[in-house]
Each structure stands twice: as structure tokens, then as C-alpha cells.
Amino acid sequence: MEAVAEGLWGLAEYHETRGEIGKAVKCLEAICQSEVSFFPIVEVKTRLRIATLLLHHSHNVNHAKSHLERSQLLLKSIPSCFELKCRAYSLLSQCYHLLGAIPPQKQVLHKGLELTASVGYEISMKLWSCNFNSQLANALSIEGDYQGSISALECGYVSATEVCLPELQMFFATSILHVRLMQWDDDNLVEQAVNKCNEIWELIDLHKRRQCPGLLFYNELLHIFYRLRLCDYKNAAPHVDNLDAAMKFDIQQTQQIQELVKELEVLDQSLSRSDLHYRDRTALSRKQTMIKEQLSSMTGLNLIGQESLQPVYFGNVRRTIGDKLQLAPPPIDGEWLPKSAVYALVDLIVVVFGRPKGLFKECAKRIQSGMHIIQDELVKLGITDGVREVDLQHSSIWMAGVYLMLLVQFLENKVAIELTRAEFVEAQEALVQMKNWFMRFPTILQACECIIEMLRGQYAHSVGCYNEAAFHYIEAVKLTDSKSMQAMCQVYAAVSYICIGDAESSSQALDLIGPVYGVMDSFVGVREKTGVLFAYGLLLMKQQDLQEARNRLARGLQLTHTYLGNLQLVSQYLTILGSLALALRDTVQAREILRSSLTLAKKLYDIPTQIWVLSVLTALYKELCERGNEMENMEYQAKKTEDLQRRLADAHASIYHIEIIDKIRLQVHQLNDLDIKRAMIDPALGVNLDIPESIGLSAAMPAPSSSRFVDIDTRRRGKRRL
């Protein structure tokens, strides 16, 4: 009977190599369904093989789960076979993961850990312990049990240390850092996790690093997330450069691998010929071995007689050699995200860093690249036009969530860029795309509703609809639990109220600024602080408290310039400070500051800020009796104003304008019967990129007569101070 099983296994492998997965499964199922009994171990191996095929090539997770559960029953009667038992536990855990069944997944993993502990000190069991602890940590983080997740990862780190595998230690160290970043309840613990990663990375041999390229990407991305959270753009920049260079190198190497694989396939076909001369066969076999060794060196995988234990966390599309950014050696052999998702994330990071600097051409290229990658992957997951949340296969939900979140963040950046450039119609289109994706996948993209409301506010403010802008910012505050996001939206709303200009609105602005100002030093980083200092300085200037306004704004400018590198916000700070200098009769400083502001506004193609600066410069030249400069400036200002008015007219004429600014929240039908908690609490993308900061805090358009801050409405209900 063993010969029959061997024959069917061989036939199944033949069909699999030809892509005939259905036939391969039928061959294997013939063993399980045979009236003649096979040895239990034969049936177990067969069922494990069937489950692996189903998980890799289909969405039939329940079928795979049934085979694995039957395998477990059979393995109970076999005293040894620890490797098979561990493999069954691991695959069954992955099934439960794909089905969103966290409690049974944890139960299976605990059984696996009990088995590895009972066997004693064997390297293979230590490695399986690492596997189980890794999966357990993932399951616990999905439930929000971050401390339990860290405990599991620390156990895995101990096992990795015992088997002396620095790259495996690095896997657990980076995973701990990831959880620390998601939790972030202690600055010192996060910093310790960062330092631990740096320490272990230096211990890993260069050859080993090449075999686990995923570690490089994972480590660099986590360092970037850490620096972003601290608003430490300067020290994050080298990590961004390393990441981008690593991606370009990996793309090049992947192309080389694909060429070698094609060459290997041609050799395999030639060697299958029965009429091949002995000398030719020997030469071709030698070449075949050489290519396999070359591939093994490039991928870190042994392609000669060793089966990979590739996990199936991330979707069910067949993965080719070189199509995985491996994080750790077998039996973990996993990845944080699929290579395509990592590539898209690298593009997104480049955009996030380039946009505040005004590198819009490069940003546009990266947005297009990233969105193209994502669209291709969504099609593979069955997400085409018309497909909605309820239509998704359950096993695709998690991966769909990853790509959809990335897609929305690309669109968010596109909206921000177009608003900065006063390309309002393009901003409308990107914002409507965001809204449409949210309407189709409201539960998966639930966290994005706040971002959409915030961007509706940004659009409304940019086109001068300040009442509507304030409404959407306040709605955004209600839609998030993030204290940082709430603070920023309150600051945005305050600026919109200040731009309305009446006493009632100024009072509302102060009510919003006050609470944020009182806790601004409690936030990680300086993003909230620079925002509230801008708004408070603007309000003080409206109240004619010019010197106090100058102090607040100077401090905000210093922080923005030092940490954020956000040229738009720097330009707006400079414009207000230039206005203040003019109001305080410091014309020398006013001229210098305003020229710097105009230079930055031109670099960003920021037409509203350019007009704002020009209006203040006109007032300056008038005061200095520089008639020539005044006339030249007014002429340029009129040209820019005409350009802006044309753009605003196009925006107001668009069918999307009213839809975006309308004081109504998006109405969506939430699906109560769809358990996609994993997509909503996503450990892979659980680190907030904190993008809204760099959109800018633009104030109202200047009055045509003179400097916007010299002619101030003095009717107010007293000068309330914070």
C-alpha cells in the first residue's frame, strides 16, 4: 500500500507543478477516501499536504481545517512524530487565523507550546516553539492584549537565543518593537526596544542579512514609524534612504531570480527527454545544479530536496521563488507583509517625507506607483468594480484590509498635495475616490471615516467655506479615539473659526484652542504643539496682543523648522510673523521674513499663501513709500488672484463641490454579521503615520485693501487669555 501512496503523491506533485491544483487534490483525497486502510502516518502526511495545497491555492479554508482536525485525531494514536504534530498545529492555527477564530487559535497554539516543552531540549522543538510564540503574539495583539503579545515574543526571543540564531532573535526583537509602537504607553520601553534592535542587527552576519531581506525592511520601517511619531524627520531620513535603496536592490534581484527560474524550467524540460545523450545529460545536470545553488545563495532557500514550510498568513495567491521578503528561517519562514504591500508602503513613506518638502513631482510618481501595485493586488483578491465588503471571502478580509488602508493613505496624500497646489478639482476627485472606497468597505475602513471628514474640512477651508470647514473638523473629532487626531482637528477648526472673523467665532476658536494648549506638552513629538501655537498666535494677533502673539509664533516656527520640516507650515508661520513685524513697525525684519515666506510658497506652488504674502508686502512697500515695488507687487498679486479665482470658480462649478462641503456626515450601512475585527485592528499597519500635520494650517484669504492683520475687527467680547 505504501507504493500506491507514493505513486499518488508523485502524481499529485506532477499536477501541482503544472498548476492543476484540483487534480492534485483529487489524487491525494483518493488516499483518504480509499476503502483499503493505509498506515495512520501515511494518511496524516496526505491530509497535511491537502491542507497546504488548499491554503496556498484556494479560499477553501474550512476544507483545509477539516483535514487538519482529522490529522490531529490520528496523531493522538502515534506516540512520536513530533515534527508532524507541530506542523499540524501550525497549519491549523493559520486556518483559525484566516477564519478570524482567535480563541480556538490560541488553544491550538498553547497545545503546540506544551508539546515542544514536553519533548525536551531539541533544536527543532525550540524552533517550533518560536513558530508558535510568534503566531500567539499575533493573535493576542489582534485582541488588543499587547502585554500578553510581548510576553509571547519574549519567550520566542529566549528560544531563539538558546539555539544561537541572531537573525531569529532579530525577528522577535523587531516584533516586540512593533507591539511597543502600537501600545506606546512608556517612552523608555519604546526606546529600549529600538536600541535592542540596533544592538542585535549589528551581530548578524552580512550573509545572513541577505538571506532574511524582510528583516531589513521590517527594521527600517519600524525605525521610521518611531521617528515619525517623535516628529524626528531629520534622523528618520537616513532610514528612508536605506529603505528605498533596499527596495530598488530587491526589485533588481527579483528580476535576476525570475530569469534563473525560467532558465531552470527550460533545463528541466530538456532533461525530461528520454533520447538525451549521456554527455549532454551530464552537462545539463551540472548546469542545473549550478543554477539551483545560485538561486539558493540569492534566496536563502535550499532548493535541492527540501520542502519549504511557507506559512499562509497573507492571502491565498501562489507565491513564486523570490516573491517573499523572508523575516526568519524555517519553521517560521514568514513575512510581515507580502512583498507587494511592502513595496507600496515604501512608496507611501517616500511620499510622506517628500510632500512637506514640496517634492511634488517625486510624490506624484510614487503615488502612481503605489496605487498601481495596490490595484493589481486587489484584483487578485477579487476586489473589482462593484465588489463590496459583504462579497469578500472571509480568508481575504485581512489582506484586503491591508491594501485598502494603504490605498486610502495614498489618496489622502494626493488630496493634501492638490490642496497645497490649489488644484481643487483634482483634490475633489481624490477625496471622492476615498469616500467611494469607504462606502464600499465601511467596516474595514472604519478608521478612515475620521480622515475623510478632516479632509472635507481641509477642502472646505481651502475654498473659503469656513463654516463648513469647522463643521467637518468637529465631526472628525467625534469619530476618533486618538488624542493626537482630536487635538489637530480642534486646531484646524479653531483656525477656520478665526478666519470667519466675528466675535462669536473668535470665542469658539478660543474654546477649542484652550484645552489643547493646556496639554500640548503631553503629546509625543511636537506636531500638536506647533499646530496649537500657530492657532493661538493667530488668535492673539486678532485680539491685538501683538507681542505675545509674536512670542508664541516664534516658538512654533522654531519647533516646526527644527523637527517637522514642513515648508507649508513654515511659510505660513513666516507670513504671520512678517505681518506682526509690519504691525510693530519693524520694517527691516518684515521685509526679510516675507521674502523668505514668498520663496517657500512659490516652491510649494501654494497660490493662496503667495497672495497672502504679496498683500502684506504691498502694505509694507506702501508704508515705506516704495511706489515702484508697490505697483510691481500689486500687479503680480492681481495676476495670482485672478489665477486663484479661476481655480475656485472651477471648484465651485464641479458636481462634487456641494457633496464634499455639505454639513452632513457620510451615511453608510455597517455590517453587523461580518466579523472583521482583524481588519479594523490591524497589527501590520497598526502604526499611525500621523499624516494630517503636513497639510498646513492655512488662514483666510487676505482682504483686498491691505495687510490682513493690520485692519482687524475690534468688536469682540473681551480679550480672553489662556
Residue 694 DSSP code:
G
Of 192, 120, 198, nearest in space to 162 by CA: 120
Q: Are 427 and 396 in contact (CB under 8 A)?
A: no
> Is residue 209 scored above 90 in pLDDT?
no
- Cβ pair 5, 33 in contact under 8 A: no
Own/partner pairs, 658-662, CB within 8 angstroms, 24+ separation:
659/432, 660/428, 660/431, 660/432, 660/456, 660/459, 660/460, 661/456, 661/459, 661/460, 661/463, 661/465, 661/468, 661/469, 661/472, 662/468
- Please check whether residue 238 is in contact with residue 198, taking contact to mean a CB–CB distance below 8 angstroms: no
Instruction: Give the pLDDT score at 711.
Output: 29
Q: What percent of the chain clears pLDDT 70, i.e. is strictly above it?
A: 88
Q: Is 380 exposed, middle or buried (0-12, 13-18, 19+ CB in 10 A)?
A: middle
Question: How many whole angstroms separate alpha carbon 387 and alpha carbon 408?
Answer: 17
User: What is the distance between the alpha carbons of residues 401 and 521, in angstroms, rounded to a whole number?
Assistant: 34
Judged against a pLDDT cut of 50, whether residue 238 lies above it is answered with yes
pLDDT band at 9 (very low <50, low <70, confident <90, very high): confident
Torsion of the alpha carbons at 510, 512, 513 and 514, rounded to the nearest 10: 80
Q: In whole angstroms, give the CA distance from residue 20 to residue 520.
A: 61
- End-to-end Cα distance, the chain: 86
Please list, residue by residue across 562-579, b when 16 or more beta carbons sit within 10 angstroms of its beta carbon and e when fewer do: ebbbbbbbbbbbbbbbbb
Phi (first) and psi of residue 327, to 5 degrees: -95, -35
Residue 186, helix vs strand vs coil: coil
Taking the CA atoms of 111, 112, 115 and 116 in sequence, report the sign of the dihedral they define: negative
Q: Is the pLDDT of residue 700 over 90?
A: no
Q: State the residue for C-alpha cell 503629546.
A: 523
Cβ atoms within 10 A of the Cβ of 672, count? 7
Q: What type of residue is 436?
A: N
Give the integer Cα–Cα distance in Å for 314 and 15: 24
Distance CA 615, CA 635 (A): 11
Number of other residues whose CB lies within 10 A of the CB of residue 369: 18
Q: What does the DSSP 8-state code read for residue 693?
A: G
SS3 654: coil
Using the predicted structure, report yes or no on whether residue 469 has a pLDDT greater than 70.
yes
- Name which residue leads in pLDDT, 307 or 538: 538
Q: pLDDT tens across 652-684, in order?
A: 999 999 999 999 988 876 554 444 444 444 444
Give the integer Cα–Cα distance in Å for 683 and 144. 9
The answer to whether the CB of 156 falls within 8 A of the CB of 137 is yes
Closest CA to 142 of 172, 187, 98, 189: 98
303 has a pLDDT exceeding 50: no
Choice among 53-57, 157-161, 354-358 with the minimum mean pLDDT: 53-57
Share of the chain above pLDDT 90, in %: 58
**Average pLDDT of span 453-481:** 96
User: Mean of the pLDDT values across residues 183-203?
Assistant: 94
What's the pLDDT band for 300 if we cut at 50, 70, 90? low
**pLDDT tens by residue, 114-158:** 999 998 778 889 999 999 999 999 999 989 999 999 999 999 999
Name the DSSP class of 635: H
pLDDT by residue (tens digit) across 38-82?
788 888 888 999 998 888 888 788 899 999 999 888 888 888 888
- pLDDT tens digit sequence for 599-645: 999 999 999 999 999 999 999 999 999 999 999 999 999 999 999 99
Q: Measure the CA–CA gap between 112 and 256, rounded to whole angstroms.
A: 39
Cell of 158: 529566549
Cα 331 to Cα 129: distance, rounded to the nearest angstrom: 10
How many Å apart are CA 442 and CA 666, to the nearest integer? 10
